[in-house]
A and B are shown apart, each in its own frame.
Chain A
Amino acid sequence: MMSSAAVAQTEITLWHAMGGALGESVNALAEGFNASQSDYVITPVFKGTYEETLTAGIAAFRAGEQPNIIQVFDAGAATVIAAQGATVPVQDLMEANGVDFDIEDYISGVRYFYADSDGKMIGMPFNSSSPIMYYNVQALEAAGVTPPATWEEFQDVTAPALVEAGYIPLAQSHLPWIFTENFHSRHNLPFATNNNGYDGLDTEILVNNPAIRAHFTALRDWQERGFFEWYGTGWGDNQTPFEEGKVAIWLGSSGSFGGLSQLDLPFDFSAGFLPYWEAVTTSPTQSFIGGASLFAMADKSDAENAATAAFFDYLASPEVQYVWHRDTGYVPITNASYELAKADGHYDRFPAAEVGIQQLSLPSGEHTRGYRMGFYVQIRDVMNREYGRILTGETSVEDAFNNIETEANELLARFAQTQG
């Protein structure tokens, strides 16, 4: 007791949704921070899935028992950012505590996703990922093809050859994220009104457009021709057939890299950019980031906020980011950490580990910054439901997108009312 009174350490908590090996990486991160200085102690607490973590944080906030830092995923960002009194913008927090902060230090694909409409960073990007294309090297060799750059190439060259070679050519793990949100971003198509939702609450979704309808019509066609297989909404159900060597190309997260590398796969895998439709654009743009960011919750003492700022500063340091990137496969969030990873030869050893950040660093466009929509978790649920029905032949592409548009706009209007 005496010693703790002599060196009063400020204790802060971090609620996160990183289970398993990722959770251990978070614990290592916290231990590293605690060992790096003697003023502050951070305690990470695993709260379940992303949805459960956000809900736990909300309940705790209402009871006045909120943690200092909470991890919030991409689809939940609108909820937490709209509730302006719930968090302290990370940029304000850093400046108030005299920590050097320059948003330009962050890589361009990551910089503004969790920012407000003026470009002020609200949430600190943490585990940032991007959907990329993994492929089975031996399968593509056996079929005598190279990884497809466009969906036209996939359809006309890659898929027929892979079927010939005895493979299921394509699977993916998240239809709303990969084939909807990032479909819009890769083709620089507007995803919602109000600048993809950043500029106001009276936003309407623009998902019912000819390009994406054509994409899902093609998917359905590929499914019938044996070019594409859908194993349900569950992430793992779609990843397993790739790991088993049945599926040749799998669209997953750049954050899947760490997990795949640790498996004893019966083949070599590599990765490439998410293909695009040449018919839609000849200059494909960067993808959105997925994953989650850290928010500093409001109503905490100055001492605790100083600890939170110190932790964020530690987290953004190139060395820490590089270790996090190397161990988990999530992209490094700052330019300096990316340079460090390059200098250390990480990408010479694992070329596939660089694909995510390269894709996030592709040319940006008017609509590639991100999206901000309330009740987006339910909007994703609606998408998943309708896509499932398309792919099981229960509904047509037109009806499905009409339903998504109607229900999503209703949810957006309801969300606007929650802020009234």
Chain B
Amino acid sequence: MQGTPQETTQPVLILDGLRKSFRGKTALTGVSFAVPRASLTVILGCAGAGKTTTLRLIAGLDQPDAGRVVIGGRDVSGWEPKDRDIAMILDNLALYPNRTGYANIASPLLIRGEPPEEIERKVTEMATMLKVAHTLQRLPKTMSGGERQRIALGRALIRTPSLFLLDEPLSSLDAMLRIELRAELKRLQREQGHSFLLATPDFTEAMAVADTVVMLRQGRVVQIARPQDLYDDPVDREAATFVGAPQINLAAASHVPGEGGGQILFAATRIAVPPHLRDGVASGPRDFELGIRPENLALADPGGAQIRARLADIEPLGLKSVLTVRNEAAELRVLVESAETHALTLNQAVGLNLTNTPKLLAFDPSSGQRLRP
């Protein structure tokens, strides 16, 4: 399977209209996307979005009701998992409970009949990299969740298939290790030229590692974008709120037509309609929702500020803090340097200015769709 000449421009994986339902319950309604060779693509979606189903169909653990899976240019529909040239980490890890850490990691190599000294070298190397060398002689039941997760990672990464499928591979690790290991995964992928398809519900993880993010919701692809584009240019309100912490502010707004595109009335203030929103807002409903990322608001002197409000809450995050401010028309989260909060007391009057109006987003309040020209 490996080593066949491939055009480097050809995607390693193409999904074409995958549909799947389980006992009448629809899980996927036509999922199509491609994974470029030597890239890290992330499937981002909340629980039940269809991430695991998609990965299982790619691996051949389940068969799609309709659609095609093409791996390395070959339609693999109906092929057994072992013939698909993929490695996968299942989300519940599925280690052999009756075999040691060593045997678990070595399993794919043993099946392929690699020479014992080669296996030993590779397993030791992998265990050292994943920091589980001390667990190699132990059974999974005696390992911590993080150790098990890393053994499962090792068992997948010990091979060099054309595509790695990682179903929430970092979910049971503690925060420090997760960040460390995701950097390690990314480095490994880039250095070795691996193709990764990683599923996660965690947008920070997606942002941190992805070359491309495929956003899945209720069994359909809603957006395919680079991470920064997903953040700056989400397809709809749900995507905008799913990506970003603290969450994007959604303020009730209305459009007041007038000269130069008119004005937007929100949070008891008025601003000129920014050029990028002009056509969308003009053609949409009069009342809409304005999306403002918390970092695009800044504290200002209440006297001359665009928005006047009262400080309702301060949530320190370390370097940054999240302020919640409220006035008669809106409640807004504001991301500020923690140093700025020292002089603040709850319930005091504060002023806010919009700092980055080109990043404002407008949504249809009923459908949640972006208001675009």
Tell me whether A and B are bound partners.
Answer: no
